[in-house]
Amino acid sequence: MYLEWGGALGLADTILYQIAKRWPSPMKRFDTEFGAQPGTAEYDRAYAISQFNRQVCDGIGLPVFGKDVLEIGSGHGSISCFAACAGARSVVGIDINQHSMQFGRELAEKLGTGLSGRLPVTFQEMDAYNLSFGAETFDIVISENSFEHFIRPERVMEESFRVLRPGGALLVPIFSSIYSMYGLHLKNGLKLPWANLFFSEKTIIKAMQRLAIDKPALLDTYPGLRNGAQRVRDLRAHGDLNDITYGKFKQMARDTGFKIERFRPISLRIGYALRLLGPLQRTLLADILSGGASACLRKPKRPAVSPASS
């Protein structure tokens, strides 16, 4: 199925390595826009501001005014800050990455100063699999660019359902299928899309190891290159990459009890042709011909109790 020939420096990883060396980086525009290199505080600070500005342009996707909002995987904190600026009654952003959260706190302080008051947003280090909040605490749960990174995504879905009030919504502005354009999350190293459709994980890791010899900074971005990684997920600091697909995500939502209010692949240009091909929209082609997907899942309201039954 995969291209994988030869020994330790076989033909397959040589081909992949040579292609990756020459492939244009999809992150280059960010490096230019931010004027800083990934991994630096300057880059993280510029990323937080850029993401906040994008939220101002695009919105969150649901009205948050007067709502209690939880963001799971808040990262640099800009979405949480935007929800607070947009009138949310309270916002909590949680993540396991303290380094990223410091930029969210910094942004919240700056925005609060500009608005002559403190934003109703806090950031906490917390495990998404065991939320410390009581049942029915929030009206909206947001999780952007995170569901592909949860090793137990079904548990995060269950916890989101638990902490939502009846009628509340889990909003996923974007997440990636493992088969989507950059589903491997190796844009700073391998760069080329869909490598996992043609090469085995073993070959991909060997190519990444060779790329790290040319660019040692990759060892910091993908620390698993130092530790004999066996799978692509092992390259990441937290091993945080699962094999989720759009089909698995939707089934997970139904099993948890959510109603799928909206699910939309973010199609590449060629992917728009699927809309004309009917049933093919429900196949793996929808994953492959996309850059990600967005979803809104609704927790059902409690049925009304009639006077006769009370």
3-state secondary structure (DSSP) of residue 225: helix
Distance from C-alpha of 207 to C-alpha of 193, rounded to nearest angstrom: 14
Query: Digits of tens for pLDDT over the chain (310 positions)?
Result: 555 555 555 788 899 999 998 888 887 777 777 788 787 888 888 888 777 767 756 678 888 889 999 999 999 999 999 999 988 999 999 999 888 899 999 999 999 987 778 899 999 999 999 999 999 999 999 999 999 999 999 999 999 999 999 999 999 999 999 999 999 999 999 999 999 999 999 999 999 999 999 999 999 999 999 988 999 999 998 899 999 999 999 999 999 999 999 999 887 776 556 565 566 667 888 899 899 999 999 999 988 665 555 4
How many residues are listed for the chain in this entry? Answer: 310
Look up residue 188 and give its two tokens.
């700073």
- pLDDT at res. 278: 60
Task: Give the closest residue to 273 by CA, choosing from 197, 265, 261.
Answer: 265
Distance from C-alpha of 299 to C-alpha of 164, rounded to nearest angstrom: 7
- pLDDT at res. 49: 78
Task: Give the closest residue to 288 by CA, choosing from 261, 270, 302.
Answer: 270
Task: Give the closest residue to 77 by CA, choosing from 39, 105, 37.
Answer: 105
User: CB–CB of 177/183 below 8 Å?
Assistant: yes
Distance from C-alpha of 174 to C-alpha of 182, rounded to nearest angstrom: 13
Look up residue 130 and give its two tokens.
């065991």
Distance from C-alpha of 207 to C-alpha of 17, rounded to nearest angstrom: 5
User: CB–CB of 260/250 below 8 Å?
Assistant: yes
- pLDDT at res. 307: 56
- pLDDT at res. 22: 87
157: region left, alpha or beta (phi > 0 left; psi from -120 to 50 alpha): alpha
Distances (CA, A) of 245 to 65, 126, 135: 32, 25, 28
How would you class 95 by CB atoms within 10 Å of its CB: exposed for 0-12, middle for 13-18, buried for 19 or more? buried
Q: Under CATH, domain 30-178+241-300 is a member of which superfamily?
A: Vaccinia Virus protein VP39 (3.40.50.150)
- pLDDT at res. 223: 95
Q: Where are the domains of the chain?
A: 11-25+186-235, 30-178+241-300
Which pTM does this prediction carry? 0.81
